[in-house]
A and B are shown apart, each in its own frame.
Chain A
Amino acid sequence: MFKAQYKLQGRLITEEATVDVHNSTVQINNSTLHLELVKWDAPVSGTVYGTLLNYKETLAALGDSVNESPYKAPPKAPILYIKPANTVIGYGTAIPLPASIELLEIGATLGIVIGQTATNVKKEDALDYVVGYTIANDVTVPHESLFRPAVKHRARDGFCPIGPWVLEKVAITNPDNLSLRVYINGELVQENTTSNLIRGVSELISDVTEFMTLYAGDVLLVGVPENPPLARAGDKIRIEIDHVGFLENVIVPEHEILSGGDVQ
């Protein structure tokens, strides 16, 4: 049993509860509830940063092209992008499928939630700046070229489900050894582990804060594994990360979503 921060739909404040990740339950108001019965809002409100090419096989898949035009060299520092505020939704809220698009890429990722202002942090101190961990679905419109920032692909409304909660840091013995799985409509379509990260959690925090400050409440997504699954309208996406929990959202055509879209 560990503590987690969470936010309920219809409430302004963030609250704290005891959760049982193994049994997928949460204690709210002296009741033990299965997490699927709760109306979650996204549990974070800071800036969300994604990390590109941080799984070994995503970089390996580029092969020699990293030395060719337009890339000309392998990446050196962390390559980040921003998932702006319009992208963030909670557990259970529908992911809008834009009218002109058929397939979305599912980006299963661990989210590091920052607990205090972090500037130029040493690797050995990095976890002092973490308050906990969450799960994110870094949805994108599939795109091959990584040369230019993919704002039009990654920054669409509802393209960053996060939740269900922020699990306290002490619940995770080693964030660089967490298995994750993606299910679409109940079928297992992807498995990987954060032990395949190029930069693990501490190194990533250190290398990012060398050039930019992270603030309390910001979320640093560690990266998306190779071969991200594709999903279409009506698909139910479930991302599980061992010891953290699971995140479920359904993809719904945007024209069917009204006022934020709780249509599950």
Chain B
Amino acid sequence: MKRARVSFAGAIHEAIEKNDMIQLTDGRIVKEDEVVWLPPVQPRTVFALGLNYADHASELEFKAPTEPLLFLKGPNTFVGHRAESRRPVDATYMHYECELGVVIGKTARNVKRQDAYDYIAGYTVANDYAIRDYLENYYRPNLRVKNRDTCTPIGPWLVDAHDIADPMNLPLRTFVNGKRIQQGSTKDMIFDIPFLIEYLSEFMTLQKNDIILTGTPKGLADVKIGDEVITEIEGVGRLVNTIVGDDVFQRRS
């Protein structure tokens, strides 16, 4: 089953996919362009991985890490499918990152890798934008790069775990204005999903609806105001986003 959270007709609803339409829990069936898409789960604790694909690490001239490079994201940064993300006027290099999101299904502490999949509710797609102009070498990647308002689209769907036969073998693709510019496969992750759940739950408690964004393969490029950016993972979803400028937010530098 594919699940979503949407705003429709003055209220927020949980919904499911039905014959290419959206069915709200109250029974109404609506079209996908009649709703405002929200992140498919309400983000609380969200982890993201840096340099978790060997090809991407070498693209950034980093050696592949020997321990996961982890950072956390706040609720301010998330937007749903078909949202707008802000590119500040002084940015010279803002890039997308197509990532598989793993949504935790129940409290997890000291989980062994062979049991890890039991703790997963499902999967989603995220676009973990970074603005490299703001990188500083303290707790890098710093929040000014990775936790900006509107800069982590996520969705459209939470796809139930049992509907994804092998999450470690899913093609990922990014399209900018219809042109494919990033592609890879989740099979190339350095630290795979069971490892990450074992690693995290060894030192902290994971809760239902916590999310792990598992990193991105190579193929970065700058995106500009007006670009339509689609991050897609086969079987999981196709997440559409548009880049907008400071004027939309009445921001002046």
Residues of A at under 8 Å CB distance from B? 47, 49, 52-53, 70-73, 75-82, 84-87, 98, 119-120, 146-152, 155-157, 211-215
CB distance from A63 to the nearest CB of B (A): 15
Q: Which residues of A contact B70 (CB under 8 A)?
A: 149, 151-152
Q: Which residues of A contact B183 (CB under 8 A)?
A: none
Q: Which residues of A contact B138 (CB under 8 A)?
A: 52-53, 71, 75, 79, 146-147
- Whether B52 is near chain A, meaning CB under 8 Å from some CB there, is no
Q: Which residues of B contact A77 (CB under 8 A)?
A: 134, 136, 142, 144
Q: Which residue of B lies closest to A218 (CB)?
A: B74
Partner of A120, one of B69, B142, B251: B251
| The 7 residue pairs across chains A and B that have the minimum distance between CB atoms | A82-B72, A84-B45, A149-B71, A213-B76, A80-B143, A79-B138, A151-B70
Q: Which residues of A contact B141 (CB under 8 A)?
A: 149
Between A and B, 19 residue pairs with Cβ closer than 8 Å are: A47-B75, A49-B74, A52-B138, A52-B139, A70-B137, A71-B137, A71-B138, A73-B136, A78-B144, A79-B143, A80-B143, A81-B143, A82-B73, A82-B143, A98-B203, A146-B138, A212-B74, A212-B76, A212-B147
Contact A215 B75 (CB under 8 A): yes
CB distance from A21 to the nearest CB of B (A): 30
Q: Output the residue of B71, B73, B74, B134 with the most chain A CB within 10 A.
A: B74
Partner of B136, one of A75, A148, A155: A75
CB distance from A152 to the nearest CB of B (A): 6
- Whether B11 is near chain A, meaning CB under 8 Å from some CB there, is no
Q: Which residues of B contact A81 (CB under 8 A)?
A: 72, 139, 143
Q: Which residues of B contact A155 (CB under 8 A)?
A: 72, 203-204
Distance between Cα atoms of A72 and B137 in the complex (Å): 7
Distance between Cα atoms of A49 and B144 in the complex (Å): 13
Residues of B at under 8 Å CB distance from A? 44-45, 47, 69-77, 134, 136-144, 147-149, 203-207, 251
Distance between Cα atoms of A75 and B144 in the complex (Å): 12
Determine chain A's interface SS by DSSP, over half rule: loop
Q: Given A152-B203, A212-B77, A213-B149, are A85 and B45 neighbors across the interface (CB < 8 Å)? A: yes
Partner of B76, one of A147, A157, A215: A215
Q: Output the residue of B44, B45, B143, B251 with the most chain A CB within 10 A.
A: B143
CB distance from B14 to the nearest CB of A (A): 22
Contact B142 A84 (CB under 8 A): no
Q: Output the residue of B72, B134, B141 with the most chain A CB within 10 A.
A: B72
Distance between Cα atoms of A82 and B73 in the complex (Å): 7
Partner of B207, one of A49, A85, A98: A85
Q: Which residues of B contact A147 (CB under 8 A)?
A: 137-140
CB distance from B132 to the nearest CB of A (A): 14
Distance between Cα atoms of A164 and B141 in the complex (Å): 33
